[in-house]
Every structure is written in structure tokens, then in C-alpha cells.
A and B are shown apart, each in its own frame.
Chain A
Amino acid sequence: NAGVTQTPKFQVLKTGQSMTLQCAQDMNHEYMSWYRQDPGMGLRLIHYSVGAGITDQGEVPNGYNVSRSTTEDFPLRLLSAAPSQTSVYFCASSYSLTADNYGYTFGSGTRLTVV
């Protein structure tokens, strides 16, 4: 089925470890983004991309890196995991950032625990 695929679904890391959360979409969407969801808070934007080779920071970018070498893939890298990064991470894509009425398609999320 077409959509946004995130892997892994669950991950436990030790403080200081690094890892990459994978996100892939097969809808030829130009816009992709990463959010984190914490209890009692709305989703917060970490990083986003408006096309291959173009990325920018969201509101909570510290401790995370992204790159976009292809239209389909937008991995999120945790450089040195900290307990404050324990969260559920969602990747979302949209046909266009500039067209107001296009909806976002979200992946099913990655639940990350840092101990």
C-alpha cells in the first residue's frame, strides 16, 4: 500500500549511543518532515525537507541530523542519545509545502526509549 513507512517501530538505546530512524514514502511527495510526540504535548517539528538536497530545522532540532539524498527517503539521525529524546517519532509527507490544502500523510511512528 502506498504511504509512509517508518522503521523500526520500537527501539531502546543507551545514553550516548547513536542511531538512524528510517522514513520512506512512495507517493512522490516533495515535502517530508519529522515530528516528536510527547505526553500532554502537541507534535513538535524537528526537521523538514522541501525536496532532495534541501533540509531545514524545525522548532526542536538539537541532537538530531537529517539528510535527503532522494525524494523517497528522509532518515533522522540521533547523534548521541539522551533520555530527553525518549519519545514517539513520526515522519510525515505532503505533496507540497506551498499548496495550502494538501494534507499530510503520517507514518505509524517509532517509539524510542533512551535509558
Chain B
Amino acid sequence: KNQVEQSPQSLIILEGKNCTLQCNYTVSPFSNLRWYKQDTGRGPVSLTIMTFSENTKSNGRYTATLDADTKQSSLHITASQLSDSASYICVVRASNAGGTSYGKLTFGQGTILTVHP
């Protein structure tokens, strides 16, 4: 069964500090991995999309890494801001090269990040 597990479930940090969120997955065959940010009461917004061949991708203060061999990804947030308080969701897409998992997305349960002043 395709699964995406995120850790920690929740995290509290002080403004200006860095943090790293983890994502482990068992989705196969793998197509890409996405990180989304979801503010309270809003829909998820895409931060990065990484394919099999990409090890690192940055979007401002957000840097995602992918190790397709160990099926792990991380999202590193640098110099955190109060506006970074949100849920961060790891999403893995199965390959659409035939089979029943045609383009299917598997969502992690999210990591709730709280940034305190």
C-alpha cells in the first residue's frame, strides 16, 4: 500500500531559527514528490515539485531534498518568519506509466509548524 509518513507531527520554533521537516514514502512506481504549505483555513499551496533525478530544489527560504534510493525527502526552512506558521504537506505522485495508480497522489498527514516571536 502506498504511504507517506511525515515527522514530526508538530514543531514549535522561534522566529529566525531554521528547521527541517521529514517525509518518508513507499509510493511505487515513483513519479514526483511535492511539498505544499497550507495556512489555517486555506487550501494547500505548492512550494516545490521534485522528480526522480532532482536531489535539491529551492523556493526562496524553502529548500527541499530528495533521496529516491532511501525514499526520503526533507523540507528545510531557513530564517523562519511568523508567516511560516502553517501545515506542511508532503505529497508523492505515482507514475502514470500504466497500472491502476495512474497519476494518483498520496498525501502525508502534514507537519504543523508554529513560529513564535
CB of A2 within 8 Å of the partner chain: no
User: Among B44, B49, B106, which residue has the most Cβ atoms of chain A within 10 A?
Assistant: B44
CB of B99 within 8 Å of the partner chain: no
Contacts of B89 on A, CB cut-off 8 Å? 42-43
CB of B109 within 8 Å of the partner chain: yes
CB of A75 within 8 Å of the partner chain: no
Chain A interface residue number, banded: 20 to 34
Interface residues in B, total, Cβ within 8 A: 25
Interface set of B (CB-CB < 8 Å, partner A): 4, 31-32, 34, 41-46, 49, 51, 89, 93, 95-96, 102-110
Which one of A42, A90, A92, A101 contacts B49 once the chains associate, using CB atoms below 8 Å? A101
A4 CA / B45 CA spacing, docked (Å): 12
Contact A42 B42 (CB under 8 A): no
With A42-B89, A45-B105 in contact, do A100 and B51 touch (Cβ < 8 Å)?
Answer: yes
